[in-house]
Amino acid sequence: MTSEGNETQPIIRVQEVTRVYRVDSREIPALRGVDLAIGPGKVVALRGRSGSGKTTLLNCIGGLDRPTSGQVWFEGKDVTRQPEGAWVNLRRRRIGFVFQSHALLATYTAWENVDLMLRLAGVRRRERQRRTEEVLTLMGLTKWREHRTFELSGGQQQRVAIARAIAPRPALILADEPTGELDSATGQQILTLFRRIADRDGTTILIATHDLAVDAFAHEVYHLEDGRIVDEHSGSFAKAVTIRLERGKGKEEGHVP
């Protein structure tokens, strides 16, 4: 697990974060003192049932919601109370979002949805063209680049959403139930793409999900229940890497693995 004591500084650090919603005279706690630290280049799963606080935590980390109390650090800076303008700049350049509903512009083509994100990030025209081509190719969408959103399948729309999120080369991607509306085969493809992005670009990817299949692609898995992290463990991928490293060490020392 990533912690403050590690040599690598966490890209995300959440300390004692709470979020309480007030409805009429009632208080509804969504987060109850969450602590979390995640290093760069990791794929991390936040698992829990609906209402456990997963989406609220993502939104507090990405500035779409504000904690009632506690602190959020991003890239070593306390961003908890920073103004909305500063959050907008972060979301345009350093933090990407992948929503369960895709949130694509329906009348835009796959190309135009990605290009718009780069326009907002202030990327020049020639670089926008090169980068849009690059990420659509990475997502296997070259043949569908001129198709409008409503002409694409659910899996293709999700890949466009991922292409849009990674186009500005963010340090962090927040993905809310990215496989929730997909069949198992398409979901596996999406998770494989996330791993490729993390490994290739060093991007940290935080996935809110109830999908057990995510564990096979994650370095770390956190379980949320009633707004609290109640368990954490290494994902199946991290365990497999550890086993391979231990076997390799055994061979170097002349031991039978």
Residue pair 95/38 in contact by the 8 Å Cβ criterion: no
Domains of the chain from N-terminus onward? 1-94+172-250 (3.40.50.300), 101-169 (no CATH)
Query: What is the helix (H) or strand (E) element at residue 20, kind and residue range?
Result: strand 12-23
Per-residue pLDDT, 248: 53
Could you give the CA distance from residue 237 to residue 245 in angstroms, rounded to a whole number?
A: 12
110 token code pair: 């796959």
**Given pLDDT bands bounded at 50, 70 and 90, which one contains residue 93?**
very high
Q: Does pLDDT of 230 surpass 90?
A: yes
Query: What is the helix (H) or strand (E) element at residue 111, kind and residue range?
Result: helix 110-120
Q: Among 171, 174, 178, 173, which residue's Cα sits nearest to residue 202?
A: 171
**For residue range 23-51, what is the model confidence (pLDDT) as tens digits?**
988 999 999 999 999 999 999 999 999 89
Q: Does pLDDT of 16 surpass 90?
A: yes
The four Cα atoms 39, 40, 45, 51 give a dihedral, to 10 degrees, of: 80
Per-residue pLDDT, 247: 47
**Which segment, 37-41, 101-105, 232-236, 238-242, is predicted with the most confidence on average?**
37-41
**For residue range 108-143, what is the model confidence (pLDDT) as tens digits?**
999 999 999 999 999 999 999 999 999 999 888 999
Per-residue pLDDT, 237: 58
CB proximity list for 98: less than 8 A, separation 6 or greater? 158, 161, 162, 165, 173, 174, 175, 176, 178
Residue pair 152/160 in contact by the 8 Å Cβ criterion: yes
Amino acid at 18: T
Average per-residue pLDDT for the chain: 88
**For residue range 185-219, what is the model confidence (pLDDT) as tens digits?**
888 888 998 998 899 889 999 999 988 889 999 99
Could you give the CA distance from residue 161 to residue 66 in angstroms, rounded to a whole number?
A: 24
Cα distances (angstroms) measured from residue 182 to each of 28, 46, 252 = 31, 18, 44
Does this model's pTM top 0.75? yes
